[in-house]
Chain A
Amino acid sequence: AQKITQTQPGMFVQEKEAVTLDCTYDTSDQSYGLFWYKQPSSGEMIFLIYQGSYDEQNATEGRYSLNFQKARKSANLVISASQLGDSAMYFCAMWYNNAGNMLTFGGGTRLMVKP
């Protein structure tokens, strides 16, 4: 079965510093995609970044980058220059060629940015 693991239930980071949120996945499929979503205290799910399994370059979106290590099956999110507004839950998710390509989510990491 496909599985997404986020091993850090909670993390603190100092404002303006960089932080890495870990995500490992388990799949035997060759074609898959990895997402990161942010969920602030207001509850909505905000798309941050996407990495396809065949993408050779690591994805970047502004202050977000995805450190994709295919052989290790890891897809860590790096947030540079943390801001107070980055405090939220962060979820790693994967689609794979099953179940209508719907997403499987990890358990999440709560990030708290200290001023």
Chain B
Amino acid sequence: NAGVTQTPKFQVLKTGQSMTLQCAQDMNHEYMSWYRQDPGMGLRLIHYSVGAGITDQGEVPNGYNVSRSTTEDFPLRLLSAAPSQTSVYFCASRRSLAGGLNEQFFGPGTRLTVL
């Protein structure tokens, strides 16, 4: 089990460029999500998915798109990068229980800098 994997680990973009952050999990989890963590702060939810073909917005969705064509993959697209999107991005997954322990497994993160 690789768990939750993210690529790339580091990325530098220029303002206005677009890119896709990749996230994959091999645990057959239905729930996947993307968070961003700004310096000295907690994680904030960008988008999430409760299953293939189903996505929804979190707390800070502007400037990001997602899709979920398979259970395993949940890519995050930056449409036109801005310096305000400089952050560390975490992908997470968990089983689709309504409650209970329901631990979220996090990927190692992608550190993105937008110049």
Residues of A bordering B, CB below 8 Å: 4, 31, 33, 35, 43-45, 47, 50, 52, 91, 93, 95, 97, 99-108
List 17 A–B pairs whose Cβ atoms lie within 8 Å, in order of A's numbering: A4-B42, A33-B99, A43-B88, A43-B111, A45-B106, A47-B104, A93-B42, A93-B43, A97-B98, A99-B58, A100-B31, A101-B99, A102-B31, A105-B35, A105-B44, A107-B42, A108-B40
Query: How many residues of chain B have a CB within 8 Å of chain A?
Result: 29
Chain A residues positioned under 8 Å from B35 (CB to CB): 105
4 extra interface residue pairs, beta carbon distance < 8 Å, beyond A99-B56, A108-B41? A93-B42, A100-B56, A103-B43, A107-B40
**Contact partner, A107, options B33, B41, B103, Cβ 8 Å:** B41
B50 touches A31 (CB 8 A): no
Complex Cα distance, B97 from A33, in Å, reads 12
Residues of B within 8 A of A (CB): 31, 33, 35, 40-45, 48-50, 56, 58, 88, 90, 92, 98-106, 108-109, 111
Identify B109's interface contact among A44, A50, A104, CB under 8 A: A44
